[in-house]
Structure 1
Amino acid sequence: MSQTVAIYNQSFILHPSGAIFWKEKAMLLIADVHLGKVAHFRKHGAAIPPHLAFENLEQLTEICNDLCPQTICFLGDLFHSNLNSSWDDFTKWVSYIKIPIVLVSGNHDIIPQYLFEELGVKVYETWKIESFLLTHHPTEEVNFFNFCGHVHPGVKLQGTGRQVLRLPCFYKTKQQLILPAFGKFTGKHTLSPTKESEIYVIADGEVLHISS
């Protein structure tokens, strides 16, 4: 189950995958996929199951088939490091998906820009659409609402007894919404809710709105 939030008279569906679907623009927003991270760590001797490298693209395909976006915007850190075997998988996926793709560069996006452009992927440092500012790093700019990633937000929930859960979340404030990391093999940075924040936690395939 997803949640829908209204911002500046626009509707945004918060998907259990960590993606956001902007209904009026039919645009899928995704942050911090970190493709190639599994291959990078396996190359350096980490005992990580190789099938994890394909799960991100498989999930992306499922979401596209479900929501039928007309544009996909990656909010930075699409890839984790330099070129490796995951680049070939990505090129095949781009050819298969046949949807316009935009990459807003993140700090991990060190693959040369021209390689993305050869695939038809547009690359920007930031992207402004009407009153919305799309970035990788959280950014404040007057009169703009910011969608961003980078932080890999999570929240700590206290259960009965001493049980503690740390779950990924969408972290929303008055002028900003930080997306959770989409990548399967990524960590979480625990954020502390404030009186001004809204937390949408992802648990068991659902997006749940919890009070600050």
Structure 2
Amino acid sequence: MSAAPIHLAGERLMLDPAGALFWPAQGLLAVSDLHLEKGSSFARKGMLLPPWDSRVTLDRLALVIRRWRPRTVVALGDSFHDVDGAARLAASDAARIEALRREADFIWVLGNHDPKPAADIGGQFVRECAIGPIVFRHEGKPGAVGEICGHHHPKAAAPARGGPITRRCFVLGSERLMLPAFGAYTGGLDVTHPAIIGLFPRGGRLFLLGRERLFTFALSPARA
């Protein structure tokens, strides 16, 4: 699997095709929008989905942790789909999180879906996390610099032989990086939506997720 190197705030970062970010100088792995227990949340509302989304998401997270061997994992908010999500975890999934926490220190950034610390999960819960010149937060703030955020679940369409294909993507600008949603049951918002392009008024680069590599395209500046 081929990661893509980028630079933000003078720091070299690696974008993983699985949708994770690795910061070599800090031994830090970041993911966003896991939305664990989204399936069970929908089931309580009568919308039945296969109940294995948390297992699939944690399996994917375990793979990227194994690949990069980070000292710290930062989860950029909406790690659980609602405030009761952690309590609904299957015992095996809760044990999986505990096992992953033995491999790295976990920092859970609070999001709009999980605005309070989850009980019995462990790790550190914060509103945002500043490390060196970079700040990690769930939702991007206009005017911020050196920011890594999530929240919007960015996706983009790319030309292909059989017609355009849509993929989750990283969005990189001069001052911030937006991560794609990592969770198994997460949709996406097109990068041309005002909520996203408004954070990248001068445009930037898109890195679409592929099976083994990333595909990069220019993001045009916002129209006046």
* TM-score, normalised by the number of residues in structure 2: 0.84
Residue of 181, 200, 205 corresponding to 2:207: 200
Asked if structure 1 preserves the Cα contact closer than 8 Å seen for 2:8 and 2:174, the reply is no
For 2:52 and 2:90, locate their aligned partners in 1 and report how far apart those are by CA, in whole Å. 15
Q: Which aligned pairs between 1:1-212 and structure 2 lie closer than 5 A?
A: 1-81=2-82, 82-83=84-85, 84-86=87-89, 88-97=91-100, 98=102, 99-110=104-115, 112-113=116-117, 115=119, 118-141=120-143, 144-160=145-161, 163-192=163-192, 196-212=203-219
For 1:30 and 1:89, locate their aligned partners in 2 and report how far apart those are by CA, in whole Å. 21
For 1:87 and 1:79, locate their aligned partners in 2 and report how far apart those are by CA, in whole Å. 13
Once the 2 structures are TM-superposed, how far is the Cα of residue 195 of structure 1 from its aligned partner? 5.6
Q: Which amino acid aligns with 1:134?
A: F
RMSD (CA atoms): 2.1
For 2:141 and 2:190, locate their aligned partners in 1 and report how far apart those are by CA, in whole Å. 19
For 2:90 and 2:143, locate their aligned partners in 1 and report how far apart those are by CA, in whole Å. 34
For 2:160 and 2:215, locate their aligned partners in 1 and report how far apart those are by CA, in whole Å. 16
Asked if structure 1 preserves the Cα contact closer than 8 Å seen for 2:39 and 2:48, the reply is no
Distance 1:90 1:138, change over 3 A: farther
Distance 1:93 1:160, change over 3 A: closer
* TM-score, normalised by the number of residues in structure 1: 0.88
1:63-97 C-alpha deviation (Å, 9 max, x unpaired)? 11111010010000000012343264453123212
- Percent identity reads 23
For 2:204 and 2:174, locate their aligned partners in 1 and report how far apart those are by CA, in whole Å. 7
Asked if structure 2 preserves the Cα contact closer than 8 Å seen for 1:167 and 1:202, the reply is yes
For 2:40 and 2:207, locate their aligned partners in 1 and report how far apart those are by CA, in whole Å. 31
Asked if structure 1 preserves the Cα contact closer than 8 Å seen for 2:9 and 2:175, the reply is no
For 1:109 and 1:138, locate their aligned partners in 2 and report how far apart those are by CA, in whole Å. 16
Q: Which amino acid aligns with 2:96?
A: W
**Structure 2: gaps of 5 or more residues:** 220-224
Once the 2 structures are TM-superposed, how far is the Cα of residue 24 of structure 1 from its aligned partner? 0.5
Asked if structure 2 preserves the Cα contact closer than 8 Å seen for 1:166 and 1:190, the reply is no
SS of equivalent to 1:210: strand
Asked if structure 2 preserves the Cα contact closer than 8 Å seen for 1:171 and 1:200, the reply is yes
